[in-house]
Amino acid sequence: MDLHMHTTASDGKLTPRELLLEAKARGVEYLAITDHDTVDGYLQAREEAKRLDLHLIPGIEWNTEGPEGELHILGYGIDIADPRLLHLMDKRQQERIEWIGEIVERCNRLGLEITQEECLARAQGSVIVRTHVAEALVERGYGRSPQAMFDAYLRKGSPAYVPRPSFSAREAIESTHEVGGIAILAHPGIYPFEVQLGNLLDYGIDGIEVYYPRHSLAEMAYWEREAKKHHLVRSGGSDFHGHGTRNPSPIGSVPIPVEAREWWTCCLFRQL
């Protein structure tokens, strides 16, 4: 089981079909594609998943910025035909284009000559992310790797950083519920600030991504206790973006306890 993966529909390196083939080869039967602010990867993969006898549920990863900081909220089991979801995804993607335009302007003021068109071309019609800007910078010869460019210029607090358009964790949770999904706090152990779990509980968060490749054993134990204490769903996933990326953990490489897997197979996969 792997409930957190990305494809070329956002910032992953594998196409949806390539991702499914890799999952099949690694023996992963239950999975979710969770591209940033879009379900395009899922839409491209769902028929192929049936042919490969894989169980695939619709997922999405919302990038939020609000009073609780820059949090990621995973949505699962959402109704992909709901007009409210389609409207929100379109709105978020247009905001991303404008946001990247501001980042490009900051890069230009720093003497890093790139264009928004170059970054959009790297997205190839899919959701644009800061990684595409980093890749454009490398292509222009400003650095040796996208990760180095991301860390030097695009990460929060760096010279070309621009805050995301306002979309709070509360809005992400409520929007996910409105379209029939459950909302999970992604990778709580990697944020550079203390997660305000109490606020998220007030907003109706349904679960926590406890099992994650960059969580230490102590962090997994802590978040497992928090999930059990508040009767939250426990999830896990590799956050695979592709080999050689900044999130290279292989598909299915994160162990998820049997009792947590059983909830997903019984309560979500079999309902869809």
CATH 1.10.150 boundaries in the chain: 89-154
**Structure-token pair, residue 142:** 């400003």
- SS3 sequence of the chain: CECCECCCCCCCCCCHHHHHHHHHHCCCCEEEECCECCCHHHHHHHHHHHHCCCEEEEEEEEECEECCECCEEEEECCCCCCHHHHHHHHHHHHHHHHHHHHHHHHHHHCCCCCCHHHHHHHHCCCCCCHHHHHHHHHHCCCCCCHHHHHHHHHCCCCCCCCCCCCECHHHHHHHHHHCCCEEEECCHHHCCCCCCHHHHHHHCCCEEEEECCCCCHHHHHHHHHHHHHCCCEEEECCCECCCCCCCCCCCCCCCCCHHHHHHHHHHCHHHC
| Side-by-side strand order, sheet with 55-63 | 30-33, 55-63, 72-76, 182-185, 207-211, 233-236
Encode pLDDT of 159-175 as tens digits: 999 998 899 999 999 99
Cα distances (Å, whole numbers) of residue 219 to 185, 190, 254: 14, 9, 14
Encode pLDDT of 54-68 as tens digits: 999 999 999 999 999
Which pLDDT score is estimated for 125?
A: 83
Could you give the CA distance from residue 15 to residue 45 in angstroms, rounded to a whole number?
Answer: 9
Nearest to 10 by CA among 50, 32, 47, 40: 40
| Mean pLDDT score of the chain | 96
89-154 belongs to CATH 1.10.150 = yes
Which pLDDT score is estimated for 272?
A: 67
Which pLDDT score is estimated for 175?
A: 98
- Per-residue pLDDT band for 271 (boundaries 50, 70, 90) equals confident
Which pLDDT score is estimated for 126?
A: 87
CATH 3.20.20.140 boundaries in the chain: 16-81+174-271
Which pLDDT score is estimated for 113?
A: 97
Encode pLDDT of 219-244 as tens digits: 999 999 999 999 999 999 999 999 99
Encode pLDDT of 92-105 as tens digits: 999 999 999 999 99
Kindly report the backbone phi and psi dihedral angles of residue 146, in degrees, each rounded to the nearest multiple of 5, phi listed first. -60, -35
Looking at the domain 16-81+174-271, which fold is it? TIM Barrel (3.20.20)
Encode pLDDT of 2-39 as tens digits: 999 999 999 999 999 999 999 999 999 999 999 999 99
Which pLDDT score is estimated for 246?
A: 86
Nearest to 10 by CA among 139, 132, 99, 164: 132
For residue 76, pLDDT beyond 70 = yes
Q: What percent of the chain has pLDDT over 70?
A: 100
Encode pLDDT of 185-227 as tens digits: 999 999 999 999 999 999 999 999 999 999 999 999 999 999 9
Which pLDDT score is estimated for 85?
A: 98
